[in-house]
Amino acid sequence: MLLTVENLKTYFYTEEGIVKAVDGISFILPPGGTLGIVGESGSGKSVTALSIMRLVPSPGRIIGGELLFDGQRLMEKTEKEMREIRGNRISMIFQDPMTSLNPVLTVGEQVVETIMLHQKLPRRKAWLKAVEILELVKIPRARERLKDYPHQFSGGMRQRVMIAIALACHPRLLIADEPTTSLDVTIQAQIIDLMKELKKELNMAIILITHNLGLVAELCQKVLVMYAGDLMEYTDIGTIFRGSKHPYTWGLLQSLPRLDRPRSRRLEQIEGQPPSLIKLPPGCPFHPRCQYVKAECRQEKPELIEVSSDHLVSCWLYQ
């Protein structure tokens, strides 16, 4: 496996209490594979990605678990060693390109910096490679646009710049955290098509973090459904849409707009709100919102079990 995450736990120690942002997540990703991590806001998706990168902000800490990347234990790496891995072998596209790009530096300076830092190229060769990278992500007049500042780019083009920076060193793993947030549907489709092309061309693995199950269906082979920092369901993309087992996954699917339903039909929603990660309810964290709740759900957290080949579910309906 390229990436193995085993029983990952990342907590934030605040004045109000311990926020269990990620509480025992496990999954694997083969070379060239694609994994979608889905769930509502606050479910722990982005913290999972930051944990893999070892970029958890204070007051957060990874308190347990194992992170194996390409046979190396990331938890044992020093900060200097992690800087060599970040951007070079594991890259990440952050949610908002406008806040992720430095507004006072040109786009070219920001792309070139990554190339010079990780590939030790002289500045002239790094600029030539930066032109190639911008052309790769289909930015027109790449040589001229390198001299522009982020505010001179549209939202879709800024997102392409972020992808260019992430791909500058041809990483083996790309983590895309909400790469199409705030973009209109036409640009969203272009960004996803671009990622599919680059994945095929560069043979890299991708972790896609999103609320949008439609994007997951377009790009991913496996899906991990998270809720309140925990893993609810983990299987392949076809099974999620045709044979999902967890009530939370059913709720996410039912809330999607569909072309085969009457236009007058209202979208279904999951009643209630996600729980506080400081004061999680006893038992299954989803039970206060679940239509199929049983007595066991309120008392004890269900184990993660294999309901069929390569299909894991944490729910008392199948214990």
Q: What does the pLDDT look like over 30-77, one tens digit per residue?
A: 998 999 999 988 889 999 999 999 999 888 999 989 999 988 999 999
Q: What is the CA radius of gyration of the chain?
A: 21
Residue at 111 is within a domain: no
- Which pLDDT does position 263 carry in this prediction? 77
Calpha distance 185→193 (Å, rounded): 12
User: Would 161 be classed as within a structural domain?
Assistant: no
CA distance 126 to 235: 41
With pLDDT > 90 as the criterion, what percentage of the chain qualifies? 34
What mean pLDDT comes out for the span 206-214? 87
- On average, the pLDDT of the chain sits at 87
Say which residue, 117 or 289, is predicted with more confidence: 289
Q: Is the pLDDT of residue 128 over 80?
A: yes
Residue 176 lies in a domain: yes
- pLDDT for 97 equals 64
Give residue-wise pLDDT tens across range 220-239. 999 999 999 999 999 999 99
Other C-beta atoms within 10 Å of 63: how many? 14
Give Cβ neighbours of residue 128 (< 8 Å, ≥ 6 apart).
Answer: none
Task: Identify the residue with better confidence: 95 or 271.
Answer: 271
Give 8's pLDDT tier (boundaries 50, 70, 90).
very high
Q: For residue 10, is it within any domain?
A: yes
Is 70 inside any structural domain? yes
Evaluate if residue 164 carries a pLDDT over 90: no
* pLDDT over threshold 80, residue 313: yes
Which of residues 189 and 241 earns the better pLDDT score? 241
Q: How far is CA 240 from the centre of its chain?
A: 17
Q: Domain containing 192: what range?
A: 3-89+169-318
**Amino acid 226: pLDDT:** 94
If pLDDT is split at 50, 70 and 90, which confidence band does 134 have? confident
The domain spanning residue 173 has which CATH number? 3.40.50.300
Q: How many folded domains does the chain comprise?
A: 1
CA angle, 177 as apex, 193 and 139 as ends, to 5°?
A: 40
Instruction: Look at residue 146 and tell me if it is in a domain.
Output: no
Q: What is the pLDDT of residue 207?
A: 93
> What pLDDT is stored for residue 13 in this prediction?
93
Nearest-10 crossing angle of helices 107-119, 123-136:
110
Longest dimension (CA), the chain: 67
| pLDDT tens sequence across 255-273 | 887 777 787 777 788 888 8
Q: Are strands 230-236 and 311-313 parallel, antiparallel or unpaired?
A: antiparallel
Q: Answer yes or no: is 41 within a domain.
A: yes
Percent of the chain with pLDDT over 70: 98
Is 115 within the bounds of a domain?
no
